[in-house]
């Protein structure tokens, strides 16, 4: 049996309906910040329970522009986790600020108990990453940030629909950045991103920043960027956003089946303990496995496209060498990088594929 990681063929099997939406954009010649962008922003904000959503051209820019709009730049430090996609720290770096790492919990998110140790007089912000679709421990991070006067910009690129105590990831801090990259739970036909915020001033600044700082055709308020959400991608997003609950619930259903089955393989397999206050949206289904590399090879040889997200934490990547970290600095993240494995968990899996993955993992450890 084959279990593919990508499901884009199935997901966009109804592409003629999307092409029809795009045809409307073409017929209207409405390509730049068109009607579909405004509609998508409204739907996105409503879906998150946020006041405002601002569409931009990628998740990376969502984070970068949110930092810029919050006034974070050269000389500032931003605390984040080392087990994330490079874009998190790429965005911090692009703002001119310095990424500062702190270790993580068994749930793959920044450890709130350790953040205070990383705070210096230069710290301006915390960027928790809701990694793999796990909402970070915002109930502990927010009070600390408030007490220390730090801005919180959330990297919610992997976590649309995740929540803590009913509040959606991305809506806790000053702003939250989302990605609509084809590999994300809510995805479009290329690059796109969204920033959500409840702060009107920040929203207005973001609207300027994403469009060259233009107040109108003839007046430029500030230096900005060209980072508009493409109208065609907004049309694709509008088509898919109505499916988000189904997408999320299906992923949760498969993840719960994995949780239940893999718990029986402890201690060779370690599934993170799930907090009842959290909704996990399983952008990635990750667990820790003994003999991970052998398991990965076995699963791949069995037709299962398992992966590792990621084998090298960011503080040990060459690009981060100027930050001066060393092996041993973040023992939890480093141990996880050696033991984590990701299974396909998407909404187009069939039950027999899920059972096949469980059977193969059980066979490996038998």
Q: How many residues bind to ligand PLP according to rule CB under 6 A?
A: 15
Identify which of residues 87 and 174 has a Cβ nearer to ligand PLP in the complex: 87
The DSSP code sequence of 42-102 is HHHHHHHT-SEEEEES-HHHHHHHHHHHTT--TT-EEEE-SSS-HHHHHHHHHHT-EEEE-
The DSSP code sequence of 300-331 is HHTTB--B-S-SS-GGGSGGGGGGT--TTSSH
SS3 197: strand
Per-position x/- string for 41-80, each x denoting binding to ligand PLP as judged by CB under 6 A, each - no binding:
-----------------xxx--------------------
Q: Does 88 bind ligand PLP (CB under 6 A)?
A: yes
Instruction: Tell me the closest approach of the beta carbon of residue 342 to ligand PLP, in angstroms.
Output: 12
Q: What span, in angstroms and rounded, lies between the C-alpha atoms of 330 and 365?
A: 29
Q: What span, in angstroms and rounded, lies between the C-alpha atoms of 304 and 166?
A: 34
Token pair in block for residue 105: 């919990």
Q: Does 84 bind ligand PLP (CB under 6 A)?
A: yes
Q: Does 157 bind ligand PLP (CB under 6 A)?
A: yes
Cβ-based neighbours of 129, under 8 Å, separated by 6 or more: 80, 81, 83, 84, 88, 109, 110, 136, 154, 155, 157, 158
**Among positions 55, 173, 193, 237, the unique one binding ligand PLP when judged by CB under 6 A:** 193
Instruction: Tell me the closest approach of the beta carbon of residue 132 to ligand PLP, in angstroms.
Output: 9
Q: What span, in angstroms and rounded, lies between the C-alpha atoms of 345 and 3?
A: 10
- Region near ligand PLP per CB under 6 A, out of 13-21, 38-46, 85-93, 220-228: 85-93
Q: Does 248 bind ligand PLP (CB under 6 A)?
A: no
Instruction: Tell me the closest approach of the beta carbon of residue 86 to ligand PLP, in angstroms.
Output: 8
Q: Does 128 bind ligand PLP (CB under 6 A)?
A: no
**Among positions 98, 124, 168, 181, the unique one binding ligand PLP when judged by CB under 6 A:** 181
Using an 8 Å Cβ cutoff, are 287 and 270 in contact? Answer: yes
**Among positions 80, 95, 158, 171, the unique one binding ligand PLP when judged by CB under 6 A:** 158
Of all residues in the shown chain, the one whose CB is closest to ligand PLP is 59
Identify which of residues 58 and 171 has a Cβ nearer to ligand PLP in the complex: 58
Count other Cβ atoms within 10 Å, centred on residue 47.
18
Q: Does 227 bind ligand PLP (CB under 6 A)?
A: no
Q: Does 83 bind ligand PLP (CB under 6 A)?
A: no
Q: Does 170 bind ligand PLP (CB under 6 A)?
A: no
What are 200-205's contacts with CB under 8 Å, separation 24+? 200/51, 200/52, 202/66, 202/69, 202/70, 202/174, 202/175, 203/51, 203/52, 203/54, 205/69
Q: Does 179 bind ligand PLP (CB under 6 A)?
A: yes
Q: Does 155 bind ligand PLP (CB under 6 A)?
A: yes
Contacts with ligand PLP, residue ranges (CB under 6 A) = 58-60, 84-85, 87-88, 129, 155, 157-158, 179, 181, 191, 193
């Amino acid at each position: 049996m084959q279990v593919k990681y990508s499901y884009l063929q199935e997901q966009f099997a109804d592409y003629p309906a999307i092409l029809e939406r795009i045809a409307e954009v073409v017929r209207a010649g409405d390509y730049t910040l068109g009607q579909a962008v405004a509609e998508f922003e409204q739907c996105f904000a409503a879906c998150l329970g946020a006041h405002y959503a601002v569409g931009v051209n990628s998740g990376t820019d969502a984070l970068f522009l949110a930092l810029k709009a919050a006034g974070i730049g050269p000389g500032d430090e931003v605390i984040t986790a080392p087990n994330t996609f490079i874009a998190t720290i790429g965005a911090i770096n692009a703002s001119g600020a310095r990424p500062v790492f702190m270790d993580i919990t068994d749930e793959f998110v920044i450890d709130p108990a350790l953040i205070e140790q990383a705070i210096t007089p230069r710290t301006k912000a915390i960027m928790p990453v809701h990694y793999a679709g796990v909402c970070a421990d915002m109930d502990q991070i927010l009070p600390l940030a408030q007490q220390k006067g730090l801005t919180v910009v959330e990297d919610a690129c992997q976590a649309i629909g995740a929540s803590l105590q009913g509040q959606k990831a991305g809506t806790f801090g000053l702003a939250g950045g989302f990605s609509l990259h084809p590999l994300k739970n809510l995805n479009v036909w290329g690059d796109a991103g969204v920033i959500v915020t409840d702060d009107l001033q920040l929203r207005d600044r973001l609207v300027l920043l994403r469009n060259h700082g233009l107040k109108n055709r003839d007046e430029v308020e500030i230096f900005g960027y060209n980072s508009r959400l493409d109208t065609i991608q907004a049309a694709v997003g509008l088509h898919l956003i109505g499916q988000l609950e189904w997408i999320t619930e299906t992923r949760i259903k498969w993840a719960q089946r994995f949780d239940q089955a893999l718990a029986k393989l402890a201690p060779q397999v370690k599934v993170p303990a799930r907090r009842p206050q959290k909704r996990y949206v399983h952008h990635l289904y990750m667990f820790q496995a003994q003999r991970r590399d052998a398991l990965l090879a076995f699963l791949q040889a069995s037709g299962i496209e398992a992966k590792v997200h990621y084998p090298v934490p960011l503080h040990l990547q060459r690009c981060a060498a100027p930050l001066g970290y060393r092996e041993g600095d973040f023992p939890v993240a480093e141990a996880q990088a050696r033991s984590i494995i990701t299974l396909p968990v998407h909404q187009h899996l069939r039950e027999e594929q899920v059972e096949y993955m469980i059977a193969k993992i059980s066979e490996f450890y038998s």
